[in-house]
């Protein structure tokens, strides 16, 4: 799974999956959905942080939680549901403020209640954490050097590894078309402080990437497609799974 700080938990399409007309309403009323998704995540982050700090002896990372923030929080399915409903509620809030339309008010109330119940269920289930969080990789830079290869369009993604070999969420896919007699070169400027290795995924179909290399970090951070070309490997993962759970039912506010 991705981590809470890897990016916005839900895209516009995810909101539309829950409320089919939400993007049309946002466009009609001039509501910035990106801003609302960001604000919803900030609000949820503040609630999770308060939950962890309220009874710090329950948090195994209590000694440095304020400094570490929420980099170790896993973006689980229940957390994404909470965020989606909170984002939709914010969009309807703006739409209602613009028009004072009773239909918007009904939807606003509905999604505020849904978001509140999702928050309770999420915290009852527990905040999922990892020991050594690996952030989502930024997109690598692609260039070309001379090599024995035919013209092709290549697609690549990269994921960092920590000391245990756990992978973070893979980067967004990047592409490059090479001419005959050249091969792609993947480069990163820097790596996270705790990165001990990387995994490189590639292919000629962005939806069917396969592992090309997994191992320690070279210096500089550069990888060249071998003479043998692309190989068949496992597909990219989705990031780190939870390793810790922080639960305290007595501290969850209802109503």
Q: By three-state DSSP, how is residue 241 classified?
A: coil
Q: At a CB cut-off of 8 Å and minimum separation 6, what does 94 contact? A: 29, 31, 36
Over residues 165-186, the pLDDT tens digits come to 999 999 999 999 999 989 999 9
SS (H, E, C) 106-141: HHHHHHHHHHHHHHHHHHHHCEEECCCCCCCCCCCE
Q: What's 236's DSSP letter?
A: P
C-beta of residue 1 within 8 angstroms of C-beta of residue 238: yes
Q: Residue 10 — very low, low, confident or very high, per pLDDT cuts 50/70/90? A: very high
pLDDT of residue 248: 74
Distance of CA 31 to the CA centre of its chain: 23
Q: For 96-118, b where at least 16 C-beta lie within 10 A, e where not — what string?
A: beeeeeeebeebbeebbebbbeb
CA distances in angstroms from 226 to 41, 61, 140, 151, 189, listed in the order given: 42, 42, 17, 15, 21
pLDDT of residue 68: 75
**188 vs 139: CA distance, rounded Å:** 8
**213 vs 97: CA distance, rounded Å:** 53
Over residues 220-250, the pLDDT tens digits come to 999 999 988 999 999 999 999 999 999 875 4
**93 vs 91: CA distance, rounded Å:** 5
C-beta of residue 154 within 8 angstroms of C-beta of residue 130: no
107 or 253: which leads in pLDDT: 107
Over residues 88-115, the pLDDT tens digits come to 999 999 999 988 888 999 999 999 999 9
Q: Does residue 254 carry a pLDDT above 80? A: no
Q: At a CB cut-off of 8 Å and minimum separation 6, what does 102 contact? A: none
Q: DSSP for 143-208, please give it.
A: EEEE-S---EEEEEEEEEE-TT--B-PPPPPEEEEEPTTEEEEEE-S---TT--EEEEEEESSTTS
All structural domains of the chain = 4-133+244-251 (no CATH), 141-224 (2.60.40)
pTM, to two decimals = 0.89
**214 vs 66: CA distance, rounded Å:** 34
Strands 222-224 and 197-203: unpaired
Over residues 134-154, the pLDDT tens digits come to 999 999 999 999 988 788 999
């Amino acid at each position: 799974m991705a981590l809470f700080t890897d990016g916005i938990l839900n895209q516009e399409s995810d909101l539309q999956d829950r409320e089919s007309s939400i993007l049309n309403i946002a466009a009609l009323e001039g509501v910035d959905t990106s801003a609302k998704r960001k604000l919803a995540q900030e609000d949820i982050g503040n609630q999770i942080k308060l939950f962890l700090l309220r009874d710090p002896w329950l948090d195994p990372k209590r000694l440095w939680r304020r400094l570490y923030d929420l980099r170790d929080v896993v973006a689980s399915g229940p957390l994404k549901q909470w965020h989606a409903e909170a984002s939709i509620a914010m969009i309807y809030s703006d739409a209602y403020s613009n028009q004072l339309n009773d239909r918007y008010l009904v939807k606003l109330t509905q999604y505020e209640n849904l978001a509140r119940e999702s928050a309770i269920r999420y915290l009852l289930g527990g905040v999922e954490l990892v020991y050594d969080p690996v952030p989502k990789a930024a997109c690598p830079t692609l260039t070309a050097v001379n090599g024995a290869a035919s013209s092709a369009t290549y697609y690549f993604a990269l994921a960092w590894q920590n000391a245990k070999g756990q992978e973070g969420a893979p980067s967004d896919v990047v592409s490059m078309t090479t001419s005959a007699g050249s091969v792609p070169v993947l480069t990163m400027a820097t790596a996270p402080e705790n990165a001990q290795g990387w995994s490189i995924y590639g292919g000629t179909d962005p939806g069917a990437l396969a592992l090309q290399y997994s191992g320690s970090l070279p210096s500089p951070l550069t990888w060249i497609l071998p003479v043998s070309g692309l190989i068949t490997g496992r597909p990219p993962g989705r990031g780190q799974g939870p390793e810790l759970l922080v639960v305290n039912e007595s501290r969850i506010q209802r109503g």
